Chain A
Amino acid sequence: MWAFIHKLGSPKWFYGISAKLQPWFWAAAALLIVTGSLWGLAFAPADYQQGNSFRIIYVHVPAAFLAQSIFIAMAVSGLVFMVWKIKVADMAAAVMAPLGAAMTFVALFSGAVWGVPTWGTWWMWDARLTSMLILLFLYLGVIALRGAFTSRDSASRAASVLAMVGVINIPIIKYSVDWWYTLHQPASFTLTSRPAMPTEMWLPLVIMVLGFYCFFIALTLMRTRSEILRREANKHWVQELVAGQVVKVPAEEAR
């Protein structure tokens, strides 16, 4: 168990194993997303209230799921980095932050687009929209803090602390925004009052959610690999690897 964790902590080992895992996740993501989109957009029945506009759900919900999951994953990576000093965990956290912010933006944007046919407006101060917006600000804070430090080690640790502080606050923010919403707005526009979805509507949704998760894992692996190469650029194994892959002559000359 401990040997496994220590192996995982080695960038070189992670670089190797992620190369093997990556194609599987890409294939799974492509298969699931193509199946889910085709099924959801073309074959699933239209909603009896919202018509075809409900199909935005097949992008909106997976993005919203990911937006929250990525923050948690980022905070867990930060914790792992702070406790065990595993560098790979921090590299993963670093590449996850922009991905999470992008997913939050996708969820917000698709929510706004969905709002036009259902609510008749681009933006409503709906509880879930509002907490999503706050989540976006939290992501931007983590990204900005990481970018503000000149020392990489300080940046990593500061971003880890902020991600952990944020993850403790996310449920508090979520529940207080829910409370705020119920106090201020009549619950006339919530989508939760909709009748339960039939199977042929939610099955493609599940496929899409799984597809988005696979996509996220594949993309994180890929970007962590390039982050490893970037940060370990002066390590022997990286130089050997690069020399072996590209051109052999200049590397030998350099040695």
Chain B
Amino acid sequence: MHSSLHGASNSGSSQSSETAQQVSAVPLREHNGGLMTAVKATLVRDLTLLLRRRGEVLNPLVFFALVITLFPIAISPDPELLAVIAPGLLWVAALLAALLSLDSLFRSDYDDGSLEQLLLAPQPLAALSLAKVAVHWLLTGLPLALMAPILGIMLALPAGSYAVLALSLALGTASLSLIGAIGAALTVGLARGGVLLSLLVLPLYIPVLIFGAGAVQAAIFGEGVSAHLAILGALLAASLMLAPWAIAASLRISING
């Protein structure tokens, strides 16, 4: 299992499909790789790949900062007005930044054929795609959540809501990554799936947006935030449970079609 995953990732598209199939045929017979080994291998591989392409990790963060810069310019630099709309702006901008990074989630794996290797692997595809989504969140959602308080200062976000902002974004972007991965898996086989992806995914993002932005609002007004955060957690639990199966089914459709 190890060898096939690393082999596919290192050599990329230069490897012919024949040798790729031969490599994958070995672990199919041996069955020596357990589920945890495969998940760990996928995690390590995706982390390595993404860390080598720093631009892809940084782009959503730059996009987030840029979009936040646009609002004071377009609306008003008045701190009082900005403070009122800051929670919603930060959440919408972070959501769009996360959406922007989704298209590349399976794209390069689809192009170089390593996605097919994942499908051929004896381990359940749902678990392996969950590992891929986890890496995506770790390098997109989490940095966005950590960066949001800084942009919050620039938007004059009232004190006392910064921790809630980061926490709600960290919890929320995990659900966003899981839900978005379904859309990314459905559109990965299409030549121009980018716009379609946002059409598919954005309506499904609305509950997360409501409770995420709601948590920050509640923190500003001094109300209890635990209800909002608990619902964000519940949404995450539900998507953790259901999304991997949908992602796996969608990947199979995209590969076979």
Contacts and interface: CB of A to CB of B under 8 A. Distances in A.
A224 B211 CA distance: 40
Nearest to B255: A154
A180 B210 contact: yes
Contacts of B254: 154, 158
A166 interface: yes
B257 A151 contact: yes
Given A137-B202, A154-B257, 9 more contacts: A82-B249, A141-B203, A145-B196, A155-B257, A158-B257, A161-B253, A165-B182, A166-B203, A169-B203
In terms of DSSP, what is the predominant structure of the interface of chain A? helix
B194 to A, nearest CB: 11
A172 interface: yes
Contacts of B210: 176-177, 179-180
Nearest to B192: A148
B207 A144 contact: no
Contact of B204 (A151, A166, A177): A166
Contacts of B211: 176, 179
Q: Contact residue range for chain B?
A: 20 to 34
B186 A169 contact: no
Contacts of B214: 179-180, 183
B187 interface: yes
A185 to B, nearest CB: 13
B137 to A, nearest CB: 19
B85 interface: no
Interface string B185-223: 011011001001001101110110011001001000000
B contacts with A: majority SS? helix
Contacts of A169: 203-204, 207
Contacts of B66: none
Interface in B208-257: 210-211, 214, 217, 231, 235, 238, 242, 246, 249-250, 253-254, 256-257
Contacts of B200: 141, 144-145, 162
Given A145-B196, A165-B182, A168-B242, A158 B250 contact: yes
Contacts of B204: 138, 165-166, 169, 173
Select the residue from A134, A148, A177 with max chain B CB neighbours within 10 A.
Answer: A148
B203 A144 contact: no
Contacts of B250: 158, 161
Interface of A: 82, 134, 137-138, 140-141, 144-145, 148-149, 151, 153-155, 157-158, 161-162, 164-166, 168-169, 172-173, 176-177, 179-180, 183
Interface of B: 182, 186-187, 189-190, 193, 196, 199-200, 202-204, 206-207, 210-211, 214, 217, 231, 235, 238, 242, 246, 249-250, 253-254, 256-257
18 contacts: A134-B206, A137-B202, A138-B203, A145-B186, A145-B196, A145-B200, A148-B196, A154-B254, A154-B256, A154-B257, A155-B257, A157-B249, A158-B257, A161-B253, A162-B186, A165-B246, A173-B204, A176-B206
Given A137-B202, A180-B210, A144 B253 contact: no
Contacts of B203: 134, 137-138, 141, 166, 169, 173
A148 B189 CA distance: 10
From B193, B199, B256, name the one whose CB has the most chain A CB atoms within 10 angstroms. Answer: B199
Nearest to A150: B257
A148 B193 contact: yes
B77 to A, nearest CB: 25
A97 B234 CA distance: 30
A161 B199 contact: no
A228 B214 CA distance: 48
Contact of B199 (A141, A179, A183): A141
B206 A154 contact: no
Nearest to A147: B196
Contacts of A158: 186, 250, 253-254, 257
A155 B186 CA distance: 10
A149 B257 CA distance: 8
A166 to B, nearest CB: 7
A82 B66 CA distance: 43
A180 B206 CA distance: 10
